A and B are shown apart, each in its own frame.
Chain A
Amino acid sequence: MLAASYDLHRFERRRVTALVGSYGSGKTELVLGLAAAARQSDKPTLIADLDVLKPYFRSREAGQRLAALGVTMLAPEGALANADLPIIPHQVRSAIGREDLQVFLDVGGDPVGARVLGSLSDVLGRASCDLFLVVNRYRPFSDTFERALEQARFIANAAQLPITGVISNTHLLDETTADDIDYGLDVARPLATALGVAVRLLGVPASLLPHFAKRDDLPPLVAIHRQMLPEFLGGVVCTPGGTA
């Protein structure tokens, strides 16, 4: 399993879904999980890896596992996948325009990473597109409401698209506690309000799911199974770079 869907029937989204946010907010894990879940609806699903910034821990590294689930991964191919070249595959532009495809865009972190959406703003503007801001309160520039709002505005400006929803995904990797989830919501909720949108999803480590499933005051839950781990830690991904 790539990621568990729990409440995803309650999660509404448009055909093209782009996730933006700080480095380490959990965008890639969410994209992998959401796309895998979306594929179960039988609609052709595609992830475009638009992380042109960092050559490590990108969704393209999970490409083989996704292919087994029927999700197409669009990323620079072959040796180019390992290049530190900011390559945007040509097919991305046509994929965004195709009505028969569910498209998830995995974008690099911070306003800098969101800038790549600017180069696609013409096709994205014509498509039905959600821009979800993923917020991890434990990341720099996201720890207070004011700073998170400022970061959100920088990101929206770089993407040249409005933010249409917030995903609260506060975590400390394997050390996340139930209190941390609530601590994150304390910023995500006022942030969504200030942006005129809703908190559309709440990321919860799979182990804490039973605890939160009992509560009725929460946005739809998504269980996070960490996948973007080196293979020696149990993830799908080999060490960044090569496979045998």
Chain B
Amino acid sequence: MTETLAFGRTPLLTHNYMHYCPGCTHGVAHRLVAEVIDEMGIQDRTIGVSPVGCAVLAYNYIDVDFIEAAHGRAPAAATGLRRTLPPDRYIFAYQGDGDLASIGMAEIVHAANRGEKLTIIFVNNAIYGMTGGQMAPTTLPGMKTTTSPGGRDVAQTGHPIRVCELLDTLVAPVFIARGSLSSAKNTIKAKKLLRQAFDLQHQGFTFVELLSTCPTGWGLSPTDSLAWLDRNMLPFFPTKTFREPGAMPEHTAAYHPDLKVRD
């Protein structure tokens, strides 16, 4: 009788023990990123940017060169990498929703608007996981968090920000998509989105949002968390590909590239 290895460690994941809580999808997202880099054979040309947040230690797990950015500043730091490195390099930044959609909103919008040749991986679990589950810009209406104990009151704190939809108003990005890690099937789809983003990275700005769970912050068991994600996050954050190469927003038609203020 012979044994067949059905599932092995991803070659590009380090042997370091992942610190994530049981049921947290960060580990899944890391594995997908590592698999994509491995399959493309670009380990020696890839530099990652880790954020502040639960994924601050991402550099411990994915076996490529890494730099660590200040809170919200990963797109700026990644821009610095992109503008100084040879063009064949692959650069990705990995950010959570507080990091990217709150303190780092300026950096992400402008990196996207400049068409920086990057892949940004945006992990959205609708709360601040690291600091203990406070309200995030992506927290759903009525959702209870430690800083919205009565549920998010949209009259006081606004509505959740849909980052993919927001970035999709910009001209420059070449790929914007939202996937989910709520099931094996969705995870396989999400990996395809990541692969597309990396493949298109040298054409321009690429962005993949991954709907994720936070069992600890949500106070739900891992399986309940997955169900909660599907039931509550999907209606507000639809999974789809918003932007592919060649598909530009309608308002670009009114844009005159030759316009000069003066000679």
Q: Note whether A and B contact each other (Cβ less than 8 A).
A: yes
A interface residues, Cβ below 8 angstroms from B = 52-53, 76, 80, 83-88, 90, 92-93, 112, 115-123, 158, 160
Cross-chain contact B220 with A119 (CB below 8 angstroms):
yes
**Would you call B20 and A87 a contact (CB within 8 A)?**
yes
Q: For chain B, which range describes its interface: under 10, 10 to 19, 20 to 34, or 35 or more residues?
A: 20 to 34
- B98 adjacent to chain A (CB < 8 Å): no
Partner of A85, one of B130, B133, B222, B223: B130
* Chain B minimum-CB-distance residue to A108: B132
Please state if A88 and B56 are interface contacts (CB–CB under 8 Å).
no
Further 19 A-B residue pairs, CB within 8 A, beyond A86-B21, A119-B215, A119-B220: A52-B216, A53-B132, A83-B57, A85-B54, A86-B132, A86-B217, A87-B19, A87-B20, A92-B22, A93-B22, A115-B133, A118-B220, A119-B21, A119-B216, A120-B221, A122-B221, A122-B223, A158-B219, A160-B219
Determine whether the beta carbon of A86 is less than 8 Å from that of B129: yes
Q: How far is the CA of A52 from the CA of B146 in the complex (A)?
A: 13
Q: Which residues of B contact A (CB under 8 A)?
A: 19-23, 54, 56-57, 129-133, 146, 215-225
The reply to whether B220 and A86 form a contact with Cβ atoms under 8 Å apart is no
The residues of A that contact B223 with a CB separation of less than 8 Å are 122
For B54, the chain A residues whose CB sits under 8 A away are: 85-86
B219 close to A52 (CB less than 8 A): no
Q: Is the CB of A52 within 8 A of B132?
A: yes
Q: How many Å lie between the Cα of A94 and that of B20 in the bound state?
A: 16
Is B22's CB under 8 angstroms from A88's CB?
yes
B228 → chain A closest CB, angstroms: 11
With A112-B133, A112-B146, A115-B133 given, is the CB distance from A87 to B21 under 8 Å?
Answer: yes
In whole angstroms, how far apart are the Cα atoms of A53 and B218 in the complex?
A: 13
Q: Which chain A residues lie closer than 8 Å to B56 at the CB level?
A: 83, 85
Of the listed residues B22, B23, B130, B133, the one surrounded by the most CB atoms of chain A closer than 10 A to its CB is B22
Q: Quick one: closest B residue to A123, CB to CB?
A: B221
List residues of chain B with CB within 8 A of the CB of A160.
Answer: 219
Which residues on B sit within 8 Å (CB–CB) of A120?
A: 221
**Cβ distance B214 to chain A, nearest Cβ, rounded Å:** 8
Tell me, in angstroms, the Cα distance from A84 to B221 when the chains sit together: 22
A79 to chain B, nearest CB (A): 9
Residues of the A chain whose Cβ atoms lie less than 8 Å from the Cβ of B21: 86-88, 119
**A121-B221 CB under 8 A given contacts A53-B132, A80-B19:** yes
A119 to B219, CA, bound (A): 5
Give the nearest-CB partner of B128 in chain A: A86
A88 to B133, CA, bound (A): 14
List 28 A-B pairs, Cβ < 8 Å.
A52-B132, A52-B216, A53-B132, A80-B57, A83-B19, A84-B131, A85-B19, A85-B56, A85-B130, A86-B21, A86-B133, A86-B216, A86-B217, A87-B19, A88-B21, A90-B22, A112-B132, A112-B133, A115-B219, A116-B216, A119-B22, A119-B220, A119-B222, A119-B225, A121-B220, A121-B221, A122-B224, A160-B219
Query: Shortest Cβ distance from A77 into chain B, in angstroms?
Result: 8
| Chain A hits for B220, CB < 8 A | 118-119, 121
For A76, A112, A160, the residue with the greatest tally of chain B CB atoms inside 10 Å of its CB is: A112
